[in-house]
């Protein structure tokens, strides 16, 4: 990919920069959005139990309430991802948070389920748009050594949203708030973090890599980098304008190398989200199937316990170790253990009727979902594509993942009622095995600069990072 001397200087300065305050600022700006995404997506699982009491919807309608935001995320991820490659990352950064804030309030004020489904669609468009831009912004500001850690730390903010949702629900329910008001509070509170980050996002400058390598604005990229990092980097200083580089959508989807990468990043994300969102959003239904006589507060508390003891540590262990283990290798590990855990639940007699062993094994599957593909499917598309198509490809991958999430969430209640908990877990085990196989389509980007990883080049440290090969 042709670029000017300053473009090289900007990339080299970022690739070799030690961790600094500017990394933390980007991390906070991108990560807070992911907290909001997770809260909004997963709080609907608890709210659905209350909606069923108030409206007595059919299984089809309750499936739509839980999954509409996910299919809408496909729209947001693909559209916003493409716009960010054409007009720049900053062109939409903050717009998606505005959509989330407005839609959260609209959801809380919905007079009926039709309006709720409509507002959840708008919410999903905003959430989908947040995926590619947040991931790529962090990736393009990261250095070579810590890129996986930084991008996965953005994603790990999902863990806080995952835990905060049931915690907020538990507080509201324990306070005795009437159920017809409680679900509105749960959904409406999602607007608060979204509103809080709009200001931060609008202050973030355009990605220096995008400015230099796509727009050919090398000198401006160097100035923006120095200004934003407050002189922490000095390698990118002066040069004349460089060459512009563009990659059309047609080129992306017709080039064999990119097609194989898309099959790997989008395919593994689809398979992961089918299982993860089906289990997570429908976790109250799973636990109700396990303990049918427990009340809503007990089910919500058990959901919070599983998320806190297993999912949250998985995110933390993932971002601490991802660069040491390798990004692709971590995905292999996660899918493998997930498959074994789901298989154990599906085949061990009577385990679905025993709370403690079920929760432990189900919790292990959650840990390795986070310490594995739920993190890596977010990280890998932000590394493996060239800067001119990076948010487009990440958006396609994330959108495809949310199609899997939609299918899993929409069909989960029906499959659970027909096949029971054991049958659901056997399907999840098969899906995790497919995810393991699809991962072979991807290269290992750990240890490479972003430019090497996206161009398929090998770095001097790569052989030590990738003993597993396809």
Query: What pLDDT sits at residue 378?
Result: 95
Q: What is the pLDDT of residue 6?
A: 44
Q: What angle is formed at CA 393 by the lines to CA 392 and CA 396, rounded to 5 degrees?
A: 90
From residue 47, give the alpha-carbon distance in Å to each of 51, 205, 266, 311, 371: 6, 38, 29, 21, 28
The band of 41, judged by pLDDT with boundaries at 50, 70 and 90, is confident
Q: Is there a domain that residue 470 lies in?
A: no
- In the predicted model, is pLDDT for residue 464 greater than 70? no
Contact yes or no for 29/201 (Cβ under 8 A): yes
Q: Which two tokens stand for residue 215?
A: 């727009």
Asked if 236 contacts 6 with a C-beta cutoff of 8 angstroms, the reply is yes
Give the CA distances from residue 142 to residues 21, 26, 145, 226, in Å, rounded to whole numbers and listed in that order.
Answer: 12, 9, 8, 15
Write the CB contacts of 439 (distance below 8 Å, at least 6 apart in sequence): 264, 268, 328, 331, 332, 335, 373
Instruction: Say if 452 falls within a structural domain.
Output: no
pLDDT the model gives residue 238: 45
Please name the residues in contact with 96: beta carbons below 8 A apart, sequence gap of 6 or more: 33, 76, 80, 125, 126, 127, 128, 129, 130, 133
Q: State residue 458's pLDDT score.
A: 44
Residue 431 belongs to a domain with what CATH number? Answer: 1.20.1250.20
- Does residue 466 fall inside a structural domain? no
Considering only residues 339 and 415, tell me which one the structure prediction assigns the higher pLDDT: 339
Tell me what the mean pLDDT of segment 138-148 comes to.
92
Domain-embedded: residue 460: no
Tell me whether residue 250 is in a domain.
yes
* Dist. CA 161–CA 32, nearest whole Å: 9
Per-residue pLDDT of 93-107, as tens digits, reads 888 999 999 999 999
Query: Is 97 in contact with 36 (CB distance < 8 Å)?
Result: yes
Return left, alpha or beta for 121; rule: phi > 0 is left, psi -120 to 50 is alpha, else beta: alpha
Domain total for the chain? 1
> Taking a C-beta distance cutoff of 8 angstroms, is the pair 108, 160 a contact?
no
Which residues form the domain of 289? Answer: 5-446
What confidence score (pLDDT) does residue 294 get?
62
Nearest to 174 by CA among 334, 73, 321, 295: 295
* pLDDT 10s digits, 355-391: 788 788 888 998 999 999 999 999 999 999 999 999 9
13-17, 26-30, 140-144, 228-232: which range is least confident on average? 228-232
User: Which are the contacts of 276, defined by CB distance < 8 A and separation ≥ 6?
Assistant: 369, 374, 405, 408
Range name among 26-35, 145-154, 417-426 with the lowest pLDDT average: 417-426
Assess if residue 199 is contained within a domain: yes
Report pTM: 0.84
Q: What percent of the chain has pLDDT over 90?
A: 42
What per-residue confidence (pLDDT) applies to 2? Answer: 38
């Amino acid at each position: 990919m042709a670029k000017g001397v300053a473009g090289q200087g900007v990339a080299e300065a970022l690739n070799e920069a030690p961790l600094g305050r500017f990394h933390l600022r980007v991390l906070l700006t991108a990560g807070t959005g992911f907290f909001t995404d997770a809260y909004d997506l997963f709080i609907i699982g608890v709210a659905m139990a209350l909606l069923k009491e108030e409206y007595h919807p059919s299984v089809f309608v309750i499936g739509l309430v839980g999954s509409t935001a996910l299919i809408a995320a496909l729209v947001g991820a693909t559209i916003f991802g493409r716009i960010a490659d054409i007009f720049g990352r900053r062109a939409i950064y903050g717009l998606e948070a505005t959509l989330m804030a407005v839609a959260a309030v609209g959801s809380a004020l919905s007079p009926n389920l039709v309006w709720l489904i409509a507002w959840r669609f708008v919410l999903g468009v905003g959430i989908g748009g947040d995926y590619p831009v947040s991931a790529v912004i962090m990736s393009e500001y990261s250095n070579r050594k810590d890129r996986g850690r930084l991008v996965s730390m953005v994603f790990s903010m999902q863990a806080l949203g995952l835990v905060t949702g049931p915690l907020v629900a538990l507080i509201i329910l324990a306070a005795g708030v009437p159920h017809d008001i409680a679900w509105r509070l749960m959904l409406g509170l999602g607007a608060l973090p979204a509103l809080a980050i709009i200001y931060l996002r609008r202050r973030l400058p355009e990605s220096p890599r995008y400015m230099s390598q796509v727009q050919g604005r090398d000198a401006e990229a160097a100035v923006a980098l120095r200004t934003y990092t407050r002189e922490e980097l000095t390698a990118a200083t002066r040069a004349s304008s460089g060459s512009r580089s563009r990659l059309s959508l047609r080129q992306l989807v017709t080039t064999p190398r990119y097609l194989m990468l898309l099959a790997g990043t989008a395919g593994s994300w689809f398979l992961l989200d089918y299982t993860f969102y089906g289990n997570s959003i429908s976790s109250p239904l799973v636990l109700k199937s396990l303990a049918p006589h427990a009340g809503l507060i007990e089910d919500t508390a058990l959901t919070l316990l599983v998320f806190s003891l297993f999912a949250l540590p998985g995110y933390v262990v993932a971002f601490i170790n991802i660069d040491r283990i390798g990004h692709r290798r971590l995905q292999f590990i996660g899918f493998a253990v997930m498959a074994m855990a789901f298989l154990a639940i599906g085949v061990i007699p009577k385990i679905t009727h025993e709370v403690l062993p079920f929760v432990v094994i189900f919790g292990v599957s959650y840990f390795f979902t986070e310490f594995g593909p739920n993190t890596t499917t977010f990280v890998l598309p932000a590394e493996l594509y060239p800067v001119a198509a990076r948010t487009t490809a990440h958006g396609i991958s994330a959108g495809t993942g949310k199609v899997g999430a939609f299918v899993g969430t929409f069909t989960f209640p029906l499959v659970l009622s027909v096949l029971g908990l054991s049958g659901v877990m056997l399907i999840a085990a098969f899906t995790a095995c497919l995810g393991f196989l699809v991962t072979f389509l991807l290269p290992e980007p750990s240890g490479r600069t972003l430019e090497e990883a996206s161009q398929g080049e090998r770095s001097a440290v790569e052989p030590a990072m990738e003993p597993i090969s396809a």
